[in-house]
Amino acid sequence: MFSPSLAELVVSWVGDRHETMWLAPRTPPPLTVAGFLSWHGPGVQPFVMRTTTIGEPVAYGELNTLSEVERRYWLGHLIVNPSLRGRGYGIELTRLLIRRAFEFHAAREVSLVVFPENRSAIRCYRAAGMVEDGFERHDFPCYGVRVDLVRMVIRSQVWP
C-alpha cells in the first residue's frame, strides 16, 4: 500500500515536462508533492510496488473506481523508478492492479488511456493483457493541447 511519506520519492521519478504530461496531463507542471497528493481522493486506491530484492518502492500506480454499479475500474498514474525501467516492473505492477480489480472488486472491466507516442507504455499494457479499444479525445489546458489518447482495456471474460 501507499503511504503519503513516499510522495517525494515517487515525484522524484518524474523527469521533464514531457514525462509529466504523459503521467498526469491534468496536473500543472512541474509535478510537486502537493500536486501528486491531490490525485488521492474518494475512489482512488494508490499503491507502491516493492520487490523482495530491492528494499525501496520500484513502481507506483492507482486503481480508481469509475463505476461501482457497472464494476468498471481505471488504472492511473503508473510510473516506474527510472533507474529500474525495462526490467518488467511496469508489466508486473499493471498485472497486480488488474488482478486486484478483478479479484477484490469483481470488476467487469479495467481500462486506462495512454498517449499514442508512449510506445513503451503501450507495449507494457499489452504484455499485461490489455488490448486497444479505440481512442478518447482529451483537452489538457495545462499543456495547451488536445489529444486522441489510446484507450486500453481488459474485461473479466478474458481475465485468467
**pLDDT digit string (tens) for 129-144?**
999 999 999 999 999 9
pLDDT tens-place string over residues 9-34: 999 999 999 999 999 999 999 999 99
Structural contact between residues 111 and 133, judged by C-beta atoms closer than 8 angstroms: yes
Q: What is the pLDDT of residue 5?
A: 97
Q: What is the pLDDT of residue 47?
A: 98
Residue position matching grid coordinates 500536486: 35
Helix (H) or strand (E) holding 78: strand 72-80
Q: What is the pLDDT of residue 160?
A: 82
- Over residues 31-53, the mean pLDDT reads 96
Q: How many CA atoms lie within 13 A of 25 on its CB side?
A: 16
Q: What is the pLDDT of residue 9?
A: 98
**Which domains does the chain carry?**
4-158 (3.40.630.30)
- Taking every pair of Cα atoms in the chain, the longest distance, rounded to a whole number of angstroms, is 42
Q: Copy the grid coordinates of residue 131.
A: 488490448
**CA-to-CA dists, residue 86 to 58, 117, 120, 159, angstroms:** 12, 17, 9, 24
Q: What is the pLDDT of residue 1?
A: 78
Count of CB atoms within 10 A of residue 145's CB?
Answer: 12
Residue 54 has pLDDT above 90, yes or no: no
Q: Copy the grid coordinates of residue 81.
A: 523508478
- Over residues 81-89, the mean pLDDT reads 97
Residue position matching grid coordinates 499514442: 116
pLDDT tens-place string over residues 89-135: 999 999 999 999 999 999 999 999 999 999 999 999 999 999 999 99
In terms of DSSP bridges, do strands 109-114 and 72-80 run parallel, antiparallel, or are they unpaired?
parallel
